[in-house]
Chains A and B, each alone.
Chain A
Amino acid sequence: AQTVTQSQPEMSVQEAETVTLSCTYDTSESDYYLFWYKQPPSRQMILVIRQEAYKQQNATENRFSVNFQKAAKSFSLKISDSQLGDAAMYFCAYRSPLRDDKIIFGKGTRLHILP
């Protein structure tokens, strides 16, 4: 069965610094998609970034970028120039058409931004 693992329950970073959140997944499929979601204290889940497995180029959205290592089944999220508003719970997610498009989430990483 597919699994998504986020090994860091909590992380802290100084404001304006860079932080990387790790995510690994286990799959035997070649066609899938990966996502990072952010959940601030308001509890609204917000899509941060997505990556297609068939694309070698790492996705980037402003200060957010990923390091996608398909062979290693790793999908880390890098946040540059961290801001106080980045403080949230971050979830990594996996979705595949070969598994009825069901989305599987990791357990999340709580990110604290230190002023």
Chain B
Amino acid sequence: GAGVSQSPSNKVTEKGKDVELRCDPISGHTALYWYRQSLGQGLEFLIYFQGNSAPDKSGLPSDRFSAERTGGSVSTLTIQRTQQEDSAVYLCASSLAQGSSNQPQHFGDGTRLSIL
């Protein structure tokens, strides 16, 4: 596709359930980021994948959060035993390879997660 694709666009689930959020980056982009954005707030960095390097997981808020990136392309963010404070928009972004710092990130439209 032409841009970063995220699915689902909206997800409503009950507290305690597990959720999976998907991100399809732009083809050829080896860098992939996940962010969390609470209503009206800034971007909270969660995790960063860069090529074959070990991911930077320093932003994950708890061990209930995990992410993987299969085949260097599609990424899945998993939240286990969801809590109400997990309600937010989860944004994914991709960019070109390491050594392309002049290149901007391209963002998906995000997944709005609501925990009842």
* Chain A interface (Cβ < 8 Å from any Cβ of B): 31-33, 35, 37, 43-45, 47, 50, 52, 89, 91, 93, 95-97, 100-108, 110
Contacts and interface: CB of A to CB of B under 8 A. Distances in A.
Nearest to B4: A45
A110 B41 CA distance: 9
Contact of A97 (B35, B42, B101): B101
Contacts of A103: 33, 93, 95, 105
A91 B104 contact: no
B66 interface: no
Given A45-B105, A89-B40, A105-B35, 12 more contacts: A33-B101, A45-B91, A89-B42, A91-B42, A91-B43, A95-B101, A100-B53, A101-B31, A101-B101, A102-B48, A103-B95, A105-B43
B2 to A, nearest CB: 13
Nearest to A36: B104
B109 interface: yes
Given A44-B109, A100-B98, A50 B42 contact: no
Given A43-B110, A44-B107, A91-B43, A100 B56 contact: yes
Contacts of A37: 104
Contacts of B42: 89, 91, 105-108
A52 B56 contact: no
